[in-house]
Amino acid sequence: MSAATAREPSPPALGRRLVPLRAGVILQGFLLWVPVEKLFQVQIGFNAASIGLAAAAYAAVVPLLEVPSGILADRWSRSKILMVASAALAASSLLGGLSTNVATYIAAAMILGVYFALNSGTVDSIVYDTVLEETGSSALYEHWIGRVRIAEGAAFAVSALAGGLVAGWTSPRLTYFLAVPFALASVLAFARVDEPQLHRAREPVALRRHVATAFTAMTRVPQVRQVMLLAALAALLAQAVIEFGPLWLVSLHAPATVFGPYWAALVATGGLGGYLTSKLGLGRRGPVVLLAVALAATPVLLATSTSVLAVALAQTALLLVVAIVGIHAGLLLHDAVPSAIRTGVSSGVGTLSWLLFLPFSLFLGWLLRTHGVRPAGWVLVAVTVTVAVLLAASVRRPPAPPAPAGAGEPGAADVGAAVPADVACRELVALVTDYLDGALPAGWRAGLDRHLAGCDGCTTYLQQVVATIDALAQLDRGQRPPQPVAGTTAGPDA
Protein backbone atom coordinates (compact mmCIF):
# COMPACT_ATOMS: atom_id res chain seq x y z
CA MET A 1 0.00 0.00 0.00
CA SER A 2 2.98 2.27 0.33
CA ALA A 3 4.17 4.28 -2.60
CA ALA A 4 5.96 2.30 -5.25
CA THR A 5 9.63 2.43 -4.50
CA ALA A 6 12.46 0.47 -6.01
CA ARG A 7 12.49 -2.90 -4.35
CA GLU A 8 15.63 -3.62 -2.39
CA PRO A 9 17.64 -6.57 -3.68
CA SER A 10 17.23 -9.97 -2.04
CA PRO A 11 20.34 -11.54 -0.55
CA PRO A 12 21.30 -14.68 -2.54
CA ALA A 13 20.91 -16.79 0.60
CA LEU A 14 17.21 -15.88 0.79
CA GLY A 15 16.36 -17.16 -2.69
CA ARG A 16 18.43 -20.30 -2.10
CA ARG A 17 16.72 -21.03 1.18
CA LEU A 18 13.25 -20.76 -0.31
CA VAL A 19 13.98 -23.17 -3.21
CA PRO A 20 12.85 -26.40 -1.44
CA LEU A 21 9.74 -24.67 -0.10
CA ARG A 22 8.76 -23.40 -3.54
CA ALA A 23 9.45 -26.82 -5.07
CA GLY A 24 7.22 -28.44 -2.45
CA VAL A 25 4.41 -25.96 -3.05
CA ILE A 26 4.61 -26.50 -6.83
CA LEU A 27 4.54 -30.30 -6.40
CA GLN A 28 1.56 -30.01 -4.06
CA GLY A 29 -0.16 -28.03 -6.80
CA PHE A 30 -0.14 -30.94 -9.25
CA LEU A 31 -3.60 -32.12 -8.34
CA LEU A 32 -4.63 -33.56 -11.67
CA TRP A 33 -8.04 -34.68 -10.45
CA VAL A 34 -9.17 -31.21 -9.51
CA PRO A 35 -10.71 -30.14 -12.86
CA VAL A 36 -12.61 -33.41 -13.35
CA GLU A 37 -13.62 -34.08 -9.78
CA LYS A 38 -17.30 -33.39 -10.33
CA LEU A 39 -17.38 -35.67 -13.40
CA PHE A 40 -15.80 -38.45 -11.38
CA GLN A 41 -18.12 -37.90 -8.45
CA VAL A 42 -21.14 -38.22 -10.74
CA GLN A 43 -19.66 -41.40 -12.24
CA ILE A 44 -19.39 -43.10 -8.85
CA GLY A 45 -22.92 -42.22 -7.83
CA PHE A 46 -22.85 -38.70 -6.39
CA ASN A 47 -25.72 -36.32 -6.91
CA ALA A 48 -25.73 -32.61 -6.10
CA ALA A 49 -26.99 -33.23 -2.58
CA SER A 50 -24.25 -35.74 -1.71
CA ILE A 51 -21.67 -33.41 -3.31
CA GLY A 52 -22.90 -30.82 -0.83
CA LEU A 53 -22.56 -33.41 1.94
CA ALA A 54 -18.95 -34.18 0.93
CA ALA A 55 -18.13 -30.45 0.95
CA ALA A 56 -19.75 -30.09 4.37
CA ALA A 57 -17.74 -33.08 5.64
CA TYR A 58 -14.38 -31.52 4.90
CA ALA A 59 -15.64 -28.12 5.95
CA ALA A 60 -16.33 -29.67 9.36
CA VAL A 61 -12.82 -31.13 9.67
CA VAL A 62 -10.89 -27.95 8.88
CA PRO A 63 -11.99 -25.61 11.69
CA LEU A 64 -11.56 -28.43 14.22
CA LEU A 65 -7.93 -28.89 13.21
CA GLU A 66 -6.88 -25.35 12.24
CA VAL A 67 -6.13 -24.03 15.71
CA PRO A 68 -4.31 -27.13 17.03
CA SER A 69 -2.27 -27.27 13.82
CA GLY A 70 -1.23 -23.63 14.23
CA ILE A 71 -0.06 -24.29 17.78
CA LEU A 72 1.71 -27.47 16.70
CA ALA A 73 3.45 -25.60 13.88
CA ASP A 74 4.86 -23.08 16.37
CA ARG A 75 5.79 -25.58 19.07
CA TRP A 76 6.99 -28.53 16.95
CA SER A 77 8.08 -27.81 13.39
CA ARG A 78 6.46 -26.04 10.49
CA SER A 79 8.20 -28.02 7.77
CA LYS A 80 7.17 -31.28 9.42
CA ILE A 81 3.58 -30.02 9.52
CA LEU A 82 3.85 -29.44 5.77
CA MET A 83 5.20 -32.97 5.31
CA VAL A 84 2.25 -34.41 7.21
CA ALA A 85 -0.07 -32.22 5.13
CA SER A 86 1.42 -33.57 1.90
CA ALA A 87 1.11 -37.14 3.18
CA ALA A 88 -2.56 -36.48 3.88
CA LEU A 89 -2.89 -35.10 0.37
CA ALA A 90 -1.36 -38.26 -1.11
CA ALA A 91 -3.61 -40.47 1.03
CA SER A 92 -6.68 -38.48 0.06
CA SER A 93 -5.89 -38.67 -3.67
CA LEU A 94 -5.25 -42.42 -3.42
CA LEU A 95 -8.42 -43.15 -1.48
CA GLY A 96 -10.41 -40.87 -3.77
CA GLY A 97 -9.10 -42.76 -6.82
CA LEU A 98 -9.97 -46.11 -5.26
CA SER A 99 -13.48 -44.96 -4.40
CA THR A 100 -16.41 -46.64 -6.07
CA ASN A 101 -19.10 -45.17 -3.86
CA VAL A 102 -20.11 -42.02 -2.03
CA ALA A 103 -19.01 -43.13 1.45
CA THR A 104 -15.34 -43.84 0.70
CA TYR A 105 -15.10 -40.66 -1.34
CA ILE A 106 -16.42 -38.62 1.58
CA ALA A 107 -13.75 -40.26 3.76
CA ALA A 108 -11.18 -39.12 1.17
CA ALA A 109 -12.64 -35.60 1.33
CA MET A 110 -12.25 -35.55 5.11
CA ILE A 111 -8.58 -36.55 4.79
CA LEU A 112 -8.23 -33.67 2.35
CA GLY A 113 -9.66 -31.47 5.09
CA VAL A 114 -6.68 -32.51 7.24
CA TYR A 115 -4.41 -31.32 4.42
CA PHE A 116 -6.18 -27.95 4.21
CA ALA A 117 -6.05 -27.40 7.95
CA LEU A 118 -2.36 -28.27 8.28
CA ASN A 119 -1.35 -26.38 5.17
CA SER A 120 -3.22 -23.15 5.76
CA GLY A 121 -0.92 -20.30 6.70
CA THR A 122 2.08 -22.57 7.26
CA VAL A 123 3.86 -21.70 4.02
CA ASP A 124 3.17 -18.00 4.63
CA SER A 125 4.68 -18.06 8.09
CA ILE A 126 7.80 -19.90 6.90
CA VAL A 127 8.29 -17.34 4.11
CA TYR A 128 7.71 -14.45 6.51
CA ASP A 129 10.24 -15.64 9.07
CA THR A 130 12.79 -16.65 6.43
CA VAL A 131 12.62 -13.17 4.90
CA LEU A 132 13.00 -11.64 8.35
CA GLU A 133 15.97 -13.87 9.14
CA GLU A 134 17.78 -13.17 5.88
CA THR A 135 17.08 -9.44 5.49
CA GLY A 136 16.32 -8.16 8.98
CA SER A 137 12.94 -6.78 7.91
CA SER A 138 9.66 -7.93 6.41
CA ALA A 139 9.85 -5.50 3.48
CA LEU A 140 10.46 -8.29 0.96
CA TYR A 141 7.75 -10.58 2.32
CA GLU A 142 5.07 -9.49 -0.17
CA HIS A 143 7.49 -10.04 -3.03
CA TRP A 144 8.46 -13.56 -1.99
CA ILE A 145 5.02 -14.77 -0.97
CA GLY A 146 3.83 -13.41 -4.32
CA ARG A 147 6.44 -15.50 -6.12
CA VAL A 148 5.38 -18.59 -4.19
CA ARG A 149 1.73 -17.94 -5.02
CA ILE A 150 2.47 -17.38 -8.70
CA ALA A 151 4.40 -20.65 -8.88
CA GLU A 152 1.56 -22.41 -7.07
CA GLY A 153 -1.03 -20.89 -9.40
CA ALA A 154 1.02 -21.95 -12.44
CA ALA A 155 1.20 -25.50 -11.10
CA PHE A 156 -2.58 -25.50 -10.57
CA ALA A 157 -3.18 -24.20 -14.08
CA VAL A 158 -0.80 -26.66 -15.79
CA SER A 159 -2.15 -29.61 -13.80
CA ALA A 160 -5.72 -28.52 -14.58
CA LEU A 161 -5.02 -28.62 -18.31
CA ALA A 162 -3.11 -31.91 -17.98
CA GLY A 163 -5.81 -33.46 -15.79
CA GLY A 164 -8.53 -32.53 -18.28
CA LEU A 165 -6.54 -34.11 -21.11
CA VAL A 166 -5.74 -37.29 -19.17
CA ALA A 167 -9.37 -37.69 -18.18
CA GLY A 168 -10.49 -37.11 -21.76
CA TRP A 169 -8.07 -39.73 -23.13
CA THR A 170 -8.40 -42.33 -20.41
CA SER A 171 -10.64 -41.93 -17.37
CA PRO A 172 -11.09 -39.37 -14.57
CA ARG A 173 -10.05 -42.08 -12.08
CA LEU A 174 -6.48 -42.14 -13.41
CA THR A 175 -5.99 -38.45 -12.54
CA TYR A 176 -6.29 -39.30 -8.84
CA PHE A 177 -3.55 -41.95 -9.00
CA LEU A 178 -1.27 -39.66 -11.01
CA ALA A 179 -1.51 -36.99 -8.30
CA VAL A 180 -0.13 -39.33 -5.62
CA PRO A 181 3.57 -39.35 -6.67
CA PHE A 182 3.58 -35.53 -6.88
CA ALA A 183 2.26 -35.24 -3.34
CA LEU A 184 4.84 -37.76 -2.11
CA ALA A 185 7.61 -35.85 -3.90
CA SER A 186 6.49 -32.69 -2.09
CA VAL A 187 7.05 -34.51 1.22
CA LEU A 188 10.69 -34.96 0.16
CA ALA A 189 10.97 -31.31 -0.89
CA PHE A 190 9.62 -30.06 2.44
CA ALA A 191 12.07 -32.35 4.25
CA ARG A 192 14.84 -30.20 2.76
CA VAL A 193 13.41 -26.87 3.98
CA ASP A 194 15.86 -24.97 6.16
CA GLU A 195 13.32 -23.91 8.70
CA PRO A 196 13.50 -20.47 10.32
CA GLN A 197 14.17 -20.53 14.05
CA LEU A 198 12.83 -17.09 14.88
CA HIS A 199 9.53 -18.17 16.36
CA ARG A 200 11.43 -20.29 18.88
CA ALA A 201 13.47 -17.32 20.02
CA ARG A 202 10.32 -15.29 20.64
CA GLU A 203 9.00 -15.06 24.11
CA PRO A 204 6.13 -17.49 24.56
CA VAL A 205 2.76 -15.82 24.20
CA ALA A 206 0.21 -16.37 26.89
CA LEU A 207 -2.13 -18.18 24.58
CA ARG A 208 -5.28 -17.71 26.59
CA ARG A 209 -4.85 -13.96 26.89
CA HIS A 210 -4.05 -13.78 23.20
CA VAL A 211 -7.21 -15.63 22.22
CA ALA A 212 -9.25 -13.51 24.61
CA THR A 213 -7.96 -10.26 23.11
CA ALA A 214 -8.64 -11.46 19.59
CA PHE A 215 -12.10 -12.63 20.52
CA THR A 216 -12.96 -9.30 22.13
CA ALA A 217 -11.84 -7.41 19.04
CA MET A 218 -13.84 -9.74 16.82
CA THR A 219 -17.08 -9.57 18.75
CA ARG A 220 -17.21 -6.17 20.41
CA VAL A 221 -16.00 -3.77 17.75
CA PRO A 222 -18.78 -3.27 15.15
CA GLN A 223 -16.35 -2.17 12.45
CA VAL A 224 -14.25 -5.29 12.88
CA ARG A 225 -17.37 -7.47 12.94
CA GLN A 226 -18.57 -6.00 9.68
CA VAL A 227 -15.24 -6.43 7.88
CA MET A 228 -14.88 -9.96 9.25
CA LEU A 229 -18.26 -10.88 7.86
CA LEU A 230 -17.31 -9.36 4.52
CA ALA A 231 -14.08 -11.38 4.40
CA ALA A 232 -15.79 -14.59 5.53
CA LEU A 233 -18.61 -14.27 2.99
CA ALA A 234 -16.13 -13.53 0.20
CA ALA A 235 -14.29 -16.74 1.11
CA LEU A 236 -17.58 -18.62 1.23
CA LEU A 237 -18.57 -17.35 -2.22
CA ALA A 238 -15.21 -18.30 -3.72
CA GLN A 239 -15.50 -21.75 -2.27
CA ALA A 240 -19.09 -22.17 -3.43
CA VAL A 241 -18.20 -21.20 -7.00
CA ILE A 242 -15.30 -23.65 -7.04
CA GLU A 243 -17.19 -26.45 -5.35
CA PHE A 244 -20.53 -26.20 -7.14
CA GLY A 245 -19.73 -24.18 -10.26
CA PRO A 246 -18.80 -27.27 -12.32
CA LEU A 247 -22.30 -28.65 -11.72
CA TRP A 248 -23.62 -25.91 -14.02
CA LEU A 249 -21.34 -27.27 -16.75
CA VAL A 250 -22.34 -30.85 -15.96
CA SER A 251 -26.01 -29.91 -16.21
CA LEU A 252 -25.32 -28.30 -19.59
CA HIS A 253 -23.56 -31.52 -20.74
CA ALA A 254 -20.20 -29.84 -21.35
CA PRO A 255 -17.56 -32.30 -22.70
CA ALA A 256 -14.73 -33.46 -20.38
CA THR A 257 -12.05 -31.52 -22.26
CA VAL A 258 -13.79 -28.22 -21.47
CA PHE A 259 -13.19 -28.70 -17.76
CA GLY A 260 -9.40 -28.25 -17.97
CA PRO A 261 -9.38 -24.76 -19.54
CA TYR A 262 -12.40 -23.80 -17.42
CA TRP A 263 -10.60 -24.71 -14.21
CA ALA A 264 -7.38 -23.08 -15.40
CA ALA A 265 -9.30 -19.84 -15.98
CA LEU A 266 -10.84 -20.08 -12.50
CA VAL A 267 -7.52 -20.51 -10.71
CA ALA A 268 -5.88 -17.76 -12.74
CA THR A 269 -8.32 -15.29 -11.14
CA GLY A 270 -6.49 -15.57 -7.81
CA GLY A 271 -3.27 -14.05 -9.12
CA LEU A 272 -5.05 -11.56 -11.37
CA GLY A 273 -7.24 -10.48 -8.44
CA GLY A 274 -4.16 -9.66 -6.37
CA TYR A 275 -2.75 -7.56 -9.20
CA LEU A 276 -6.01 -5.71 -9.86
CA THR A 277 -6.62 -4.96 -6.17
CA SER A 278 -3.43 -2.96 -6.07
CA LYS A 279 -4.44 -1.01 -9.19
CA LEU A 280 -8.09 -0.24 -8.49
CA GLY A 281 -7.72 2.26 -5.67
CA LEU A 282 -10.41 0.77 -3.47
CA GLY A 283 -10.01 3.47 -0.84
CA ARG A 284 -12.35 5.62 -2.98
CA ARG A 285 -16.10 5.34 -3.26
CA GLY A 286 -16.40 5.12 -7.07
CA PRO A 287 -14.39 1.93 -7.69
CA VAL A 288 -15.94 0.24 -4.66
CA VAL A 289 -19.48 0.91 -5.87
CA LEU A 290 -18.60 -0.34 -9.36
CA LEU A 291 -17.14 -3.47 -7.83
CA ALA A 292 -20.25 -3.98 -5.69
CA VAL A 293 -22.50 -3.66 -8.75
CA ALA A 294 -20.37 -6.13 -10.75
CA LEU A 295 -20.49 -8.52 -7.80
CA ALA A 296 -24.27 -8.44 -7.50
CA ALA A 297 -24.92 -8.58 -11.24
CA THR A 298 -22.59 -11.36 -12.42
CA PRO A 299 -24.36 -14.37 -10.86
CA VAL A 300 -27.62 -13.33 -12.54
CA LEU A 301 -26.14 -15.00 -15.65
CA LEU A 302 -25.83 -18.25 -13.68
CA ALA A 303 -29.54 -18.13 -12.97
CA THR A 304 -30.60 -17.31 -16.50
CA SER A 305 -28.12 -18.49 -19.16
CA THR A 306 -27.99 -21.91 -20.84
CA SER A 307 -24.74 -21.32 -22.74
CA VAL A 308 -21.66 -23.23 -21.49
CA LEU A 309 -19.42 -20.35 -22.49
CA ALA A 310 -21.56 -17.69 -20.80
CA VAL A 311 -21.79 -19.74 -17.60
CA ALA A 312 -18.05 -20.42 -17.54
CA LEU A 313 -17.27 -16.74 -18.16
CA ALA A 314 -19.75 -15.61 -15.52
CA GLN A 315 -18.17 -17.93 -12.94
CA THR A 316 -14.69 -16.76 -13.85
CA ALA A 317 -15.75 -13.12 -13.60
CA LEU A 318 -17.53 -13.75 -10.30
CA LEU A 319 -14.51 -15.48 -8.85
CA LEU A 320 -12.26 -12.62 -10.00
CA VAL A 321 -14.48 -10.01 -8.35
CA VAL A 322 -14.75 -12.14 -5.20
CA ALA A 323 -10.95 -12.50 -5.10
CA ILE A 324 -10.59 -8.71 -5.28
CA VAL A 325 -13.22 -8.25 -2.55
CA GLY A 326 -11.53 -10.89 -0.39
CA ILE A 327 -8.09 -9.30 -0.67
CA HIS A 328 -9.58 -5.84 -0.08
CA ALA A 329 -11.37 -7.14 3.02
CA GLY A 330 -8.11 -8.68 4.22
CA LEU A 331 -6.42 -5.28 3.95
CA LEU A 332 -9.31 -3.52 5.72
CA LEU A 333 -9.06 -6.06 8.51
CA HIS A 334 -5.32 -5.60 8.62
CA ASP A 335 -5.89 -1.88 9.26
CA ALA A 336 -8.71 -2.40 11.74
CA VAL A 337 -6.93 -4.57 14.30
CA PRO A 338 -3.55 -4.23 16.03
CA SER A 339 -0.81 -6.48 14.72
CA ALA A 340 -0.55 -8.53 17.91
CA ILE A 341 -3.95 -10.10 17.34
CA ARG A 342 -4.04 -9.97 13.56
CA THR A 343 -3.15 -13.61 13.10
CA GLY A 344 -5.79 -14.59 15.63
CA VAL A 345 -8.42 -12.47 13.91
CA SER A 346 -7.56 -13.74 10.45
CA SER A 347 -7.82 -17.34 11.59
CA GLY A 348 -11.12 -16.33 13.22
CA VAL A 349 -12.27 -15.21 9.77
CA GLY A 350 -11.19 -18.56 8.36
CA THR A 351 -13.09 -20.49 11.00
CA LEU A 352 -16.16 -18.30 10.57
CA SER A 353 -16.27 -18.86 6.83
CA TRP A 354 -15.82 -22.64 7.20
CA LEU A 355 -18.66 -22.69 9.71
CA LEU A 356 -20.88 -20.65 7.37
CA PHE A 357 -19.90 -22.82 4.43
CA LEU A 358 -20.93 -26.03 6.17
CA PRO A 359 -24.71 -25.43 6.25
CA PHE A 360 -24.52 -23.41 3.03
CA SER A 361 -23.04 -26.33 1.08
CA LEU A 362 -25.67 -28.71 2.42
CA PHE A 363 -28.38 -26.26 1.44
CA LEU A 364 -26.98 -25.44 -2.01
CA GLY A 365 -26.41 -29.15 -2.72
CA TRP A 366 -29.97 -29.96 -1.73
CA LEU A 367 -31.31 -27.08 -3.85
CA LEU A 368 -29.27 -28.14 -6.89
CA ARG A 369 -30.48 -31.70 -6.51
CA THR A 370 -34.15 -30.90 -6.13
CA HIS A 371 -34.60 -27.70 -8.13
CA GLY A 372 -31.64 -27.53 -10.52
CA VAL A 373 -29.11 -24.80 -11.27
CA ARG A 374 -31.44 -21.82 -11.74
CA PRO A 375 -32.76 -21.42 -8.19
CA ALA A 376 -29.23 -22.12 -6.97
CA GLY A 377 -28.10 -19.25 -9.18
CA TRP A 378 -30.59 -16.93 -7.50
CA VAL A 379 -29.29 -18.01 -4.08
CA LEU A 380 -25.81 -16.98 -5.21
CA VAL A 381 -27.30 -13.65 -6.32
CA ALA A 382 -28.75 -13.20 -2.82
CA VAL A 383 -25.35 -13.84 -1.20
CA THR A 384 -23.49 -11.55 -3.61
CA VAL A 385 -26.02 -8.76 -2.98
CA THR A 386 -25.35 -9.12 0.77
CA VAL A 387 -21.60 -8.98 0.17
CA ALA A 388 -22.07 -5.99 -2.16
CA VAL A 389 -23.96 -4.10 0.56
CA LEU A 390 -21.26 -4.88 3.13
CA LEU A 391 -18.63 -3.81 0.63
CA ALA A 392 -20.38 -0.52 -0.09
CA ALA A 393 -20.76 0.09 3.64
CA SER A 394 -17.05 -0.49 4.18
CA VAL A 395 -16.21 2.64 2.24
CA ARG A 396 -18.30 4.83 4.53
CA ARG A 397 -15.98 4.51 7.44
CA PRO A 398 -13.38 7.25 7.63
CA PRO A 399 -10.06 6.24 6.16
CA ALA A 400 -7.73 4.80 8.75
CA PRO A 401 -5.32 7.40 10.10
CA PRO A 402 -2.14 7.14 8.09
CA ALA A 403 -0.14 4.72 10.18
CA PRO A 404 3.46 5.68 10.80
CA ALA A 405 5.44 4.13 7.96
CA GLY A 406 5.40 0.39 8.45
CA ALA A 407 4.06 0.77 11.97
CA GLY A 408 4.61 -2.42 13.84
CA GLU A 409 6.95 -3.90 11.29
CA PRO A 410 10.31 -4.66 12.76
CA GLY A 411 12.94 -2.21 11.71
CA ALA A 412 10.65 -0.68 9.16
CA ALA A 413 10.54 2.89 10.36
CA ASP A 414 10.99 4.66 7.05
CA VAL A 415 13.83 7.09 7.37
CA GLY A 416 12.99 8.38 3.89
CA ALA A 417 9.69 9.71 5.25
CA ALA A 418 9.16 12.97 7.09
CA VAL A 419 10.18 12.93 10.74
CA PRO A 420 7.05 12.68 12.91
CA ALA A 421 6.52 15.50 15.41
CA ASP A 422 6.62 12.94 18.20
CA VAL A 423 8.97 10.00 17.67
CA ALA A 424 7.58 6.95 19.43
CA CYS A 425 9.52 4.41 21.50
CA ARG A 426 8.82 1.82 18.80
CA GLU A 427 10.75 3.90 16.30
CA LEU A 428 13.67 4.37 18.62
CA VAL A 429 13.90 0.61 19.08
CA ALA A 430 13.67 0.13 15.30
CA LEU A 431 16.34 2.75 14.58
CA VAL A 432 18.73 2.46 17.50
CA THR A 433 21.44 0.77 15.41
CA ASP A 434 21.14 3.37 12.65
CA TYR A 435 21.35 6.00 15.39
CA LEU A 436 24.49 4.52 16.90
CA ASP A 437 26.04 4.03 13.45
CA GLY A 438 25.40 7.66 12.60
CA ALA A 439 23.46 6.47 9.56
CA LEU A 440 20.36 8.60 10.15
CA PRO A 441 19.34 11.76 8.30
CA ALA A 442 19.83 14.81 10.54
CA GLY A 443 16.09 15.35 11.09
CA TRP A 444 15.56 11.85 12.40
CA ARG A 445 18.64 12.06 14.56
CA ALA A 446 17.36 15.25 16.16
CA GLY A 447 13.92 13.67 16.60
CA LEU A 448 15.41 10.70 18.42
CA ASP A 449 17.56 12.99 20.58
CA ARG A 450 14.45 14.97 21.57
CA HIS A 451 12.66 11.72 22.36
CA LEU A 452 15.54 10.37 24.45
CA ALA A 453 15.68 13.59 26.46
CA GLY A 454 12.12 13.00 27.62
CA CYS A 455 11.89 9.21 27.82
CA ASP A 456 13.51 7.25 30.66
CA GLY A 457 12.49 3.90 29.17
CA CYS A 458 14.26 4.58 25.90
CA THR A 459 17.30 6.02 27.64
CA THR A 460 17.56 2.78 29.61
CA TYR A 461 17.05 0.78 26.42
CA LEU A 462 19.79 2.67 24.60
CA GLN A 463 22.20 2.19 27.53
CA GLN A 464 21.45 -1.53 27.61
CA VAL A 465 22.01 -1.92 23.88
CA VAL A 466 25.36 -0.14 24.23
CA ALA A 467 26.25 -2.36 27.22
CA THR A 468 25.33 -5.42 25.15
CA ILE A 469 27.56 -4.24 22.30
CA ASP A 470 30.43 -3.68 24.77
CA ALA A 471 29.92 -7.16 26.22
CA LEU A 472 29.96 -8.65 22.71
CA ALA A 473 33.23 -6.86 21.96
CA GLN A 474 34.71 -8.44 25.11
CA LEU A 475 33.31 -11.87 24.33
CA ASP A 476 36.37 -13.39 22.70
CA ARG A 477 38.89 -11.46 24.73
CA GLY A 478 40.22 -12.46 28.13
CA GLN A 479 38.72 -15.88 28.10
CA ARG A 480 38.76 -17.75 24.79
CA PRO A 481 35.68 -19.77 24.12
CA PRO A 482 36.49 -23.49 24.03
CA GLN A 483 35.00 -23.83 20.54
CA PRO A 484 33.48 -21.54 17.96
CA VAL A 485 29.77 -21.62 18.69
CA ALA A 486 28.28 -24.83 17.36
CA GLY A 487 26.39 -24.52 14.14
CA THR A 488 28.13 -21.38 12.95
CA THR A 489 28.23 -22.05 9.26
CA ALA A 490 28.40 -18.95 7.17
CA GLY A 491 30.32 -15.76 7.20
CA PRO A 492 33.31 -14.36 8.97
CA ASP A 493 34.09 -15.99 12.24
CA ALA A 494 36.31 -14.89 15.06
Positive or negative CA dihedral for 23, 28, 31, 32? Answer: positive
Closest CA to 351 of 118, 66, 124: 66
Alpha helices by DSSP H, listed for 44-140, are: 48-75, 78-98, 102-119, 122-135
Q: Are 85 and 122 in contact (CB under 8 A)?
A: yes
Selected from 47, 77, 120, 226, the binder of another protein by CB under 8 A is 120
H or E element in which residue 358 lies = helix 342-371
Q: How far apart are CA 82 and CA 104, in angstroms?
A: 25
Binding mask 91-110 for another protein (x = CB under 8 A): -x---x-----------xx-
> How far is the C-alpha of 455 from the C-alpha of 424, rounded, in Å?
10
Binding string to another protein for residues 278 to 307, with x set by CB under 8 A, is what?
------------------------------
> CA nearest 97: which of 9, 36, 12?
36
Cα gap 21→134, rounded to integer Å:
15
The separation between the first and the last C-alpha atoms of the chain, rounded to the nearest angstrom, is: 42
Q: Does 88 bind another protein (CB under 8 A)?
A: no
Binding string, 409-448, against another protein, x = CB under 8 A?
xxx------------xxxx-xxxxxx--x-x---------
Residue type, 155: A
Q: What is the nearest approach in angstroms of another protein to the Cβ of residue 471? A: 4
Please identify, using beta-carbon distances, which residue of 307 and 403 lies nearer to another protein.
Answer: 403
361 and 243 Cβ atoms separated by less than 8 Å: yes
Residue whose CB is less far from another protein, 3 or 201: 201
How many C-alpha atoms does 19 have within 13 Å on its Cβ side?
Answer: 6
How many CA atoms within 13 Å lie on the side-chain side of 380? Answer: 34
Question: Which of residues 22, 134, 173, 380 is near another protein by CB under 8 A?
Answer: 134
Of 294-302, 369-377, 387-395, 404-412, the segment contacting another protein by CB under 8 A is 404-412
232 binds another protein (CB under 8 A): no
**How many C-beta neighbours within 10 Å does residue 308 have?**
16
Give the nearer residue to another protein in terms of CB position, either 197 or 453.
Answer: 197
Q: Is 19 in the site for another protein (CB under 8 A)?
A: no
Residue from the set 30, 46, 58, 176 that interacts with another protein by CB under 8 A: 58
> Under rule CB under 8 A, how many of the chain's residues touch another protein?
128
CB of 120 to another protein, least distance (A): 6
| Candidate residues 24, 299, 350, 447; the one interacting with another protein per rule CB under 8 A | 350
Task: Tell me if 323 contacts another protein by CB under 8 A.
Answer: yes
Q: Using CB under 8 A, which of 4, 418, 453, 485 touches another protein?
A: 485
Q: 442 or 471: whose CB is closer to another protein?
A: 471
By CB under 8 A, tell whether 135 contacts another protein. Answer: yes
- Check: CB of residue 353 under 8 Å from CB of residue 235: yes
Contacting range for another protein; rule: CB under 8 A; set: 167-175, 194-202, 278-286, 297-305: 194-202
C-beta of 107 vs 294, nearer to another protein: 107
C-alpha to C-alpha distances, 104 to 100, 212, 299, 359, 454, nearest whole angstrom = 7, 39, 33, 21, 69
Return the residue of 257, 330, 369, 386 that touches another protein, per CB under 8 A.
Answer: 330
Nearer to another protein, 257 or 343 (CB): 343
